Structure 1
Amino acid sequence: MVPVPRSRRAMRLALAATLGLSAWAGVAAAHSGSLRATRDPIAVPMWLFLLTGGGVVGVSFLLASFVTDRRLVDAVHDWGRSLPDPGRVLSVLVRLAAVGVLALTLLVGALDRTDGVRNLAILVVWVVWWGGYVASTYLFGNTWPTLNPFRTLAEALPSLDRPYPDRLGAWPSVAGLLLLVWIEVVTPLADDPRLLAAVLGAYTVVTVAGAVVVGPDSWFEHVDPLARVFRFYGHLAPVGVEDGRLRLRLPGGALPGTILDGRDDVAFVVTLLFVTTYDGFVATGPWAGGVRAAVGVGVPPLLVYLGAYLVGVAGFYLAYRASARLGRRRADTYLSTTYLARRFAPSLLPIAAGYHLAHNLGTVLVLSPTVAAVAASPLAPPPSPPQLAGLPAWFGGLELAFVLLGHLLAVWVAHATAYDLFPSRLQAVRSQYGVTAVMVGYTMLSLWIVTEPYVAPPFIAS
């Protein structure tokens, strides 16, 4: 029998866990249910709107192609200013506070009988953390290494320091990210605080135990999907750490010089982009109609969701690999497709960040007063659920602007990366053909999802 590589075993184990969870859940429930802010449809024809969005990205590529002065490109991305060190005492206090928030969230989730947006644990996880804190990592900088309560707990325990299998690489984090988002989609985590506390508790146990076995550095570098999400997003932020010091830089300034370690890192970045897209896609009208049609002919609902999930992530990855092959062929370079994929993959991060901001900012703005009210008076009667449909009309335009700005920054990062790679200006421009084509496709898909009115995914758990 031919031995199965451990990286494949990890992926198969995650898939088996996913299938098992799907069978247990029985129905699908995207987390957006009680947290989604609705919007009115756009007033122009959809086909014209999408072509316009895709055209903006295409034109931005043409405009960036005229910026051929290498000194200018380097000056933009090398600009920076040193920032003062916040100090060790403040860092310790912040870490202890993060552990306290984790403990409070677990306690409230397990004991408080209120559900949905009336529960503090739900609000902390989905509004404060997933909506607000995640955005802070790509807007202001990655503070997770300091805040990370799981690492704080692990470092307080004796480590076994078992060697981490190098052949696994970062593939466990890819599987972990897929599994986490799948749990979010197929279970009512946004409405059931006890289920949320159980999932968060299980994640805490697995993460702390894994960090104790192989050491915190290895675990959070290769395995933990949350730490890796924040690390990659941190490369996009205008604040970062260089040579042990905080440094102010332009947004995305660190991305052109970022070289991913291998295909596992490339797969993680593409997966991050996909899961953010999938989370919004399952809450659209066309998806709801497609699921009902498939179920009508006898296909189990979760098989439809899972099939789209797996086919979608594979399609995103294969499309990006194809873009790298096209770039290599058009640039006529000796550099391998894998190396080009590793260099250009960081340019996808602004797209993921722009869509995440557009997807979650409305919820954060609408529910922030509820978070403050519940946190200020945890023992008072829970407030009435907010009216999530009351966003001002201009906010839809702001969401679209976030999506487009993310894609425009992605085009510029790819442009700067190409000029860092190739001595020939013509090679640098031609190497971007593939990744730009993929970005145009991502732009049109993202804009379509953002402009679609929210539709509750069919077969939601009660």
Structure 2
Amino acid sequence: MYTNDMRPKLKPIFPLLAALLLKSGAAHGHAADQGFVLLLPTAAYISGGTAVVAATIALLFILRASVLDRVLSPIDTGLSRGRLRPQKLLQFVSSGGFLALIWLGISGPTDPQANLMPLVLWTVWWMAMFVVQGFVFDIWRLFNPLVGFYDFLMSGHKSPLRLSKKLSVWPAVLVFTAFMGFVLADTAPNDPERLAWFAFMYWLFTFLGMTLFGRDAWLRQVECFTVLFDLLGTMRIAGGLKTVKLGFPGWQAFQSKEFGLSHAMFVLVLLASGSFDGLHETFWWLAKLGVNPLEYPGRTAMVASTTLGLAAGIISLTLLFAGAVWVGLLAVTHHDEHTLPKFKQAFIRFSITLLPIAIGYHFAHYFVSFLVQIQVVVATLADPLAKGWNLFGLGGVRVKVGFLTVPETVKLIWLFQAGIVVLSHVLAVLLSHKTAEMFCTRRQNVLRLQLGLSFVMVVYTIFGLWLLASPRGV
């Protein structure tokens, strides 16, 4: 999400030392671009993480179905969910703040590291809110900036057109794919003015869509971020319709919510685009394109290759996952034919179990950048127009990156990132096993149904940890 000119230009053996010498702005690169090349025994960490996932799969071989049933059964707190009274107000305020950010993007400083538009959008919204929505609480429902003004201005409005339910969320899949194309392949997605116009056009697109086709239908089928955050919400520990229920992460995926093929593709696009975000600037990828990683030609020269790479990544993951599901179905014996799902049903249900991997990798992927960029956000709040102001008494805030120059701290950070990736894969394995138990009555068939998926889980663990440790070419 951040442009190339914001990334560290130096690539010495210890590139972190450059962060201490350069001005703070130069140290805050795109979260997909690791701020340092890990000088750690990564093979040992990758092997260890993979072993944990493999051991989890093996452990499930001896667990009884009742164990996972109990683990994934929520506890009803008895607290009424009700309708949050301040929700409409918070959404209205968020809409005002969103339009103010757009104005800042157009009229404010041209430096992405001094303009709140890209800082808030990428750091607070894309990095932080994504994870909060997935594992903590439904923050999007409270602060959705796309609906506040609509609800205020169009209360009681009856839309003249209707969206066919047969479309499901396929429109949202296309919109989200286009968004990821902008993030990864656009020449300057972090330029304040460019990003502000992009955000405004999307806000206008959503407003007009809700006006023509109805608020709820548009949000449910076309507005890709509402669809995204709804999917992420199935992994939250807190949920429930009438009363608040608490449970193991992922318990909501086994409730009454219906998923379609388009939901499955949304999950695969999310995981594939996130993985490609980490891959497309590694030395390995650039070498495949014949690009010298130490003489990066810039994003403009890479638009076509990045776009094609993103498309290839989505197609490849879809085919790999489909093959894994097919292998599992093929391996199941005839004893479970009466309960065995059709390929489409299995493809859909097992795809939802990939959500923990997408959230975990997103968290680990952006963790280092968030630690630095959130400091920049706070510091910029003091002077959003670069006029020398000292709002909120934040003028004395200084961005500190010294912790990235201490080997012990860097090692702890990477171990934390690696741990998040491994734990997310372990959760995905548990959810996959529970899903298999829904389809098969015989224990041996529960295991056979997951043969292909278990292989994919282990391979993806290795791949995710390798991405975290891989040096970047820019």
Aligned to 2:93: 97
Aligned to 1:18: none
CA distance 1:151–1:441, shift in 2 (3 Å):
same
CA distance 1:239–1:293, shift in 2 (3 Å):
same
Residues 1:411 and 2:429 aligned together: yes
Which residue type is aligned with residue 80 of structure 1? Answer: I
Verify the 8 A CA contact 1:116 1:190 in the aligned structure 2.
no
Give the unaligned 5+ runs of structure 2. Answer: 8-28, 296-300, 390-394
The one of 363, 371, 376 equivalent to 1:357 is: 363
Q: Deviations over 1:410-437 (max 9, x none)?
A: 0011111222222222221211112111
Verify the 8 A CA contact 1:351 1:407 in the aligned structure 2.
yes
Residues 1:43 and 2:40 aligned together: yes
Verify the 8 A CA contact 2:91 2:142 in the aligned structure 1.
yes
Which residue type is aligned with residue 62 of structure 2? Answer: F
CA distance 1:225–1:385, shift in 2 (3 Å):
farther
Which runs of structure 2 are paired with 1:379-390 in the superposition (5 Å)?
379=385, 380-381=387-388, 386=399, 390=403
Q: Deviations over 1:99-127 (max 9, x none)?
A: 12211211111110241222111111011
Aligned to 2:450: 432
Verify the 8 A CA contact 2:3 2:30 in the aligned structure 1.
no
Which residue type is aligned with residue 288 of structure 1? Answer: L
Superposition deviation, residue 51 in structure 1: 4.0
Aligned to 2:18: none
Superposition deviation, residue 140 in structure 1: 0.5
CA distance 1:103–1:130, shift in 2 (3 Å):
same
Superposition deviation, residue 225 in structure 1: 1.2
Moved more, 227-236 or 99-108: 99-108
Moved more, 392-401 or 29-38: 29-38
Please give the alpha-carbon distance, in whole angstroms, between the structure 2 residues aligned to 1:31 and 1:219.
Answer: 37
Residues 1:441 and 2:440 aligned together: no
Please give the alpha-carbon distance, in whole angstroms, between the structure 2 residues aligned to 1:327 and 1:412.
Answer: 16
Aligned to 2:74: 79
Please give the alpha-carbon distance, in whole angstroms, between the structure 1 residues aligned to 2:4 and 2:422.
Answer: 25
Aligned to 2:218: 219
* CA root-mean-square deviation: 2.7
Number of matched pairs: 424
Which runs of structure 2 are paired with 1:46-65 in the superposition (5 Å)?
46=43, 49-65=45-61
Residues 1:273 and 2:274 aligned together: no
Superposition deviation, residue 189 in structure 1: 4.8
Verify the 8 A CA contact 1:256 1:346 in the aligned structure 2.
no
The one of 353, 372, 375 equivalent to 1:369 is: 375
Aligned to 1:454: 472
CA distance 1:301–1:87, shift in 2 (3 Å):
closer
Q: Secondary structure at the match of 2:245?
A: strand
CA distance 1:214–1:449, shift in 2 (3 Å):
same
Aligned to 1:330: 331
Please give the alpha-carbon distance, in whole angstroms, between the structure 2 residues aligned to 1:32 and 1:251.
Answer: 36
Which runs of structure 2 are paired with 1:182-221 in the superposition (5 Å)?
182-187=181-186, 189=188, 191-221=190-220
Superposition deviation, residue 88 in structure 1: 3.7
Please give the alpha-carbon distance, in whole angstroms, between the structure 2 residues aligned to 1:29 and 1:278.
Answer: 16
Q: Deviations over 1:202-258 (max 9, x none)?
A: 110111111211111111111111111111111101112x22333222212222447
CA distance 1:406–1:233, shift in 2 (3 Å):
same
Please give the alpha-carbon distance, in whole angstroms, between the structure 1 residues aligned to 2:6 and 2:286.
Answer: 14
CA distance 1:84–1:244, shift in 2 (3 Å):
closer
Aligned to 1:251: 249
Q: What is the percentage of aligned positions where both structures have the same residue?
A: 23
Which residue type is aligned with residue 326 of structure 2? Answer: R
Residues 1:121 and 2:117 aligned together: yes
Please give the alpha-carbon distance, in whole angstroms, between the structure 2 residues aligned to 1:352 and 1:174.
Answer: 16
Please give the alpha-carbon distance, in whole angstroms, between the structure 1 residues aligned to 2:349 and 2:268.
Answer: 13
Aligned to 2:351: 345
Aligned to 2:12: none
Q: Deviations over 1:319-359 (max 9, x none)?
A: 11111111111123442111111111111000000000001
Please give the alpha-carbon distance, in whole angstroms, between the structure 1 residues aligned to 2:436 and 2:67.
Answer: 14
The one of 136, 141, 151 equivalent to 1:140 is: 136
CA distance 1:110–1:227, shift in 2 (3 Å):
same
Please give the alpha-carbon distance, in whole angstroms, between the structure 2 residues aligned to 1:76 and 1:328.
Answer: 26
* TM-score, normalised by the number of residues in structure 1: 0.84
Please give the alpha-carbon distance, in whole angstroms, between the structure 2 residues aligned to 1:161 and 1:330.
Answer: 51
Verify the 8 A CA contact 1:160 1:215 in the aligned structure 2.
yes
Which residue type is aligned with residue 242 of structure 2? Answer: G
Give the unaligned 5+ runs of structure 1. Answer: 1-27, 457-462
* TM-score, normalised by the number of residues in structure 2: 0.82
Aligned to 1:304: 305
Superposition deviation, residue 294 in structure 1: 10
Please give the alpha-carbon distance, in whole angstroms, between the structure 2 residues aligned to 1:331 and 1:294.
Answer: 48
Aligned to 2:24: none
Superposition deviation, residue 400 in structure 1: 0.7
Please give the alpha-carbon distance, in whole angstroms, between the structure 2 residues aligned to 1:39 and 1:237.
Answer: 32
Verify the 8 A CA contact 1:81 1:248 in the aligned structure 2.
yes
Moved more, 85-94 or 425-434: 85-94
